[in-house]
Amino acid sequence: MNTTSARVAIVTGGSRGIGRQVVERLAADGHAVVVNYGGNRPEADAAVDAVVGAGGRAIAVQADVADEKAVSALFDVAERTFGGVDVVVHAAGIMVLSPVADIDLDALDRMHRTNIRGTFVVGQQAARRVRSGGAIVNFSTSVLGLALPGYAAYAASKGAVEAVTLILARELRGRDVTVNAVAPGPTATALFLDGKDEETVARMAAQPPLERLGTPSDIAEVVAFLAGPGHWVNGQVIRANGGIV
């Protein structure tokens, strides 16, 4: 088997939610996919099985995205198995919600370690290793523009992601590698729906002019565009939120 002819994607946080949908969407476009996961091996294996069952190629690799040695090893596996790396989608992240006055600072540190340090660690390896013609896609959030109470710590971490994204795009001048971020609005994932009553979900679904929640597939379509045909889009934050302002 020629492992260098097809494009290769690493998707962090690829075992569930939006990351899982991105894995399947990129595989459908012909990418060999490395499904990175933090701790849930069964879900990562299920993502791999879905890709392989549809005729694609995928493997699961565990790595803490904030651990530089683990992330370097993740890229090593991708290169050994599939011949290189063309697309890196950094979807791994955690969300802690609390008013500023009440936030647990240890929880803040854990979230910022994953969301901010993790973006630097993954971005560092991606900047060194993604092949010409490739793409790096980070994840922000539309809550940055909405300024919702309780989201200050999470939004702050994603503000950092946007800053890294825009600057890295310029640092990679001459490499023919794009760097963009996708900023979803309310999206119907298990993480989003957990703990919300029907009234809250209905209210949030009514916010965008399209009058529904986003789906993981909606977000995966944007990622697939940036990873392939949208190569002229670079150094941008795409607010995929149905029109919420």
* Residues with a known catalytic role: 154
Structure-block tokens of residue 177: 């590698």
